[in-house]
């Protein structure tokens, strides 16, 4: 098993699967206007970071969220884009290389969000979208909380159970966590700053919300 050193068999399955379908994922989420929706969200809700901030994109996939952060943040920061899937990381690396943004702000790591290669309380912001759906929610949020400094932030874009997310669940083999569990588990480590519903015309809103939370 390719990911045996970093993940259990169940976790590794997600990495191997994305090695095969990274292109399909990238295309689906480009076509549904995900990047544009993220741009609008960040324009209205600036990320709570300052120059030099240490940021992790946990489960970065093909880099769509990392790219949106690079477009939104106007000063140098240090972003680690981490994923289990090496194919996805390569796609993210290429996309960022060919983007007009500050490529040197981003480093890549192959790893498991359930055992992050960072010391306790070492990051200012963790963003994650579509990855916690592949792991036990309480374990995933605990590990993300571990690496965030007190007062630092988590931006989480959880899938919410809708018809659209049901289609995505089948296509991308994940399971949305019940919204009540998402809120409850988030509040075990964080104070929720806002819980944003994307406007109805944006396709991202058919399956996702955005939760910004501050570590207490």
Ligand X SMILES: C[S@@+](CC[C@H](N)C(=O)[O-])C[C@H]1O[C@@H](n2cnc3c(N)ncnc32)[C@H](O)[C@@H]1O
Binding-site ranges for ligand X (CB under 6 A):
11, 14-15, 18, 25, 29, 59-61, 64-65, 83-85, 88, 112-114, 129-131, 134-135, 172
CA 70: distance to chain centroid?
14
Residue 155 and residue 211 in contact, taking contact as beta carbons nearer than 8 Å? yes
Residues in Cβ contact with 109 at an 8 Å cutoff, skipping those fewer than 6 apart = 80, 81, 82, 89, 117
In angstroms, what is the minimal distance from the CB of 168 to ligand X?
8
Q: Which is nearer to ligand X, 117 or 151 (CB)?
A: 117
In angstroms, what is the minimal distance from the CB of 15 to ligand X?
5
In angstroms, what is the minimal distance from the CB of 131 to ligand X?
4
Q: Which is nearer to ligand X, 53 or 60 (CB)?
A: 60
Q: Which is nearer to ligand X, 70 or 135 (CB)?
A: 135
Name the residue number minimizing CB distance to ligand X: 61
In angstroms, what is the minimal distance from the CB of 106 to ligand X?
14
Residue 81 and residue 89 in contact, taking contact as beta carbons nearer than 8 Å? yes
Q: Which of 8, 27, 7, 39 is nearest to 171 (CA)?
A: 27
Q: Which is nearer to ligand X, 51 or 99 (CB)?
A: 99
In angstroms, what is the minimal distance from the CB of 12 to ligand X?
9
Q: Which is nearer to ligand X, 131 or 212 (CB)?
A: 131
Q: Which residue has the tokens 């083999």?
A: 173
Residue 140 and residue 189 in contact, taking contact as beta carbons nearer than 8 Å? no
Residue 113 and residue 135 in contact, taking contact as beta carbons nearer than 8 Å? yes
């Amino acid at each position: 098993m390719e990911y045996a050193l970093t993940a259990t068999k169940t976790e590794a399955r997600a990495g191997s699967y994305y090695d095969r379908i990274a292109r399909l994922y990238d295309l689906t989420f480009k076509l549904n206007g995900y990047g544009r929706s993220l741009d609008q969200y960040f324009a209205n809700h600036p990320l709570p970071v300052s120059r030099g901030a240490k940021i992790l994109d946990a489960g970065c996939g093909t880099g769509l969220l990392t790219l949106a952060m690079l477009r939104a943040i106007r000063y140098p920061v240090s972003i680690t884009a981490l994923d289990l899937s090496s194919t996805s990381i390569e796609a993210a690396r290429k996309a960022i290389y060919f983007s007009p943004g500050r490529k040197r702000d981003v480093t890549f790591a192959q790893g498991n969000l359930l055992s992050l290669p960072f010391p306790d309380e070492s990051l200012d912001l963790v963003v994650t979208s579509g990855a916690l759906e592949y792991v036990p929610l309480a374990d995933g949020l605990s590990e993300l909380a571990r690496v965030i400094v007190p007062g630092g932030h988590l931006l989480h874009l959880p899938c919410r159970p809708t018809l659209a997310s049901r289609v995505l669940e089948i296509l991308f083999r994940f399971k949305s966590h019940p919204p009540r569990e998402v809120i409850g588990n988030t509040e075990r480590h964080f104070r929720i700053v806002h819980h944003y519903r994307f406007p109805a015309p944006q396709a991202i809103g058919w399956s996702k919300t955005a939760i910004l939370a501050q570590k207490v």
